[in-house]
């Protein structure tokens, strides 16, 4: 029975997958990936990058780049409907799991855990904000760190 449901999740629930994708675009849990060290001097956009420079890739900012996303601040899962963009590291405008040699090796496990848990929670409960709060009034402020967290109202 569980197997059947997992197969369904794999082939169906396309909108749920787009919701997870859009969430990881706007709120990547590791916003600055893992730092790199430059192995040889190079020049990027007129900037000289000396050998051994520590290079930080800002996946959070890349996911909000208006050159690649229209209305980048808007939570709009439909942008991924029928899109070929995936998180396997070949679309550099979407890198919540990083890219190239140090790309996250746990992509499949991470995604299936988020998708499966979310699917079950949505299937078994009816969700709504408490006490008449509107969805658009929810505070989605983040707190930067090695991992990105929701900012608690007390700090
Ligand atoms: C939604 C869940 C997850 C997200 C968003 C995520 C994200 C990331 C990111 C952004 C990196 C850095 C990649 C880079 O710098 O290019 C990373 C590295 C890594 N992740 Fe994940 N990850 C997730 C789940 C997992 C899981 C489930 C595992 C293991 C079971 C895992 C294991 C690792 C390891 C070992 C690295 C270091 C790879 C290396 O440096 O060579 N991750 N992850």
pLDDT, tens digit (0-9, with 9 covering 90-100), for 94-131 = 999 999 989 999 999 999 999 999 999 999 999 998 88
The pair of three-digit structure tokens given for residue 114, joined into one six-digit string? 């988020």
Beta carbons of 29 and 142 less than 8 angstroms apart? no
How many Å lie between the centroid of ligand 1 and the Cα of residue 100? 12
- pLDDT at residue 20 in the model: 97
Where helices occur in 27-153 by DSSP H, the ranges are 59-62, 107-124
pTM of the model: 0.87
How many Å lie between the centroid of ligand 1 and the Cα of residue 45? 29
Q: Is any ligand 1 atom within 6 A of the Cβ of residue 31?
A: no
Q: Is residue 22 part of a domain?
A: yes
Q: Is residue 95 part of a domain?
A: yes
Question: How far is Cα 67 from Cα 46, in angstroms, rounded to an integer?
Answer: 20
Angle among Cα 101, 69, 46 to the nearest 5 degrees reads 60
The ipTM, to two decimals, is 0.98
Q: Give the atom of ligand 1 at the shortest distance from the alpha carbon of 24.
A: 5
Which structural domain range is residue 22 located in? 2-119
At 26-54, the pLDDT tens digits run 999 999 999 999 999 999 999 999 999 99
Is 104 one of the annotated binding-site residues? yes
Q: How many domains does the chain have?
A: 1
Q: Give the atom of ligand 1 at the shortest distance from the alpha carbon of 101.
A: 41
Q: Is residue 133 part of a domain?
A: no
Q: Is any ligand 1 atom within 6 A of the Cβ of residue 110?
A: yes
pLDDT band at 5 (very low <50, low <70, confident <90, very high): low
* Residue of 22, 56, 97 to mutate, ligand 1, most atoms within 8 A of C-beta: 97
Q: Is residue 106 part of a domain?
A: yes
Q: Is residue 125 part of a domain?
A: no
Q: Is residue 134 part of a domain?
A: no
Q: Is any ligand 1 atom within 6 A of the Cβ of residue 89?
A: no
Q: Is residue 38 part of a domain?
A: yes
Q: Is residue 144 part of a domain?
A: no
Distances (CA, A) of 81 to 15, 85, 101, 109, 121: 7, 10, 28, 22, 22
């Amino acid at each position: 029975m569980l197997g059947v449901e997992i197969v369904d999740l794999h082939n169906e629930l396309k909108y749920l997958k787009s919701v997870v994708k859009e969430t990881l675009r706007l709120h990547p849990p590791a916003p600055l990936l893992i730092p790199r060290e430059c192995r040889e001097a190079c020049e990027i956009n007129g900037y000289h990058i000396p050998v051994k420079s520590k290079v930080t890739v800002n996946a959070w900012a890349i996911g909000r780049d208006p050159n690649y996303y229209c209305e980048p601040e808007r939570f709009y899962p439909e942008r991924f409907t029928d899109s070929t963009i995936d998180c396997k590291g070949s679309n550099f405008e979407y890198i919540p799991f990083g890219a190239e040699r140090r790309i996250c090796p746990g992509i499949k496990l991470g995604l299936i855990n988020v998708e499966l848990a979310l699917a079950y929670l949505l299937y078994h409960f009816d969700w709504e904000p408490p006490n008449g709060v509107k969805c658009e009034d929810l505070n989605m402020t983040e707190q930067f760190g090695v991992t990105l967290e929701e900012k608690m109202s007390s700090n």
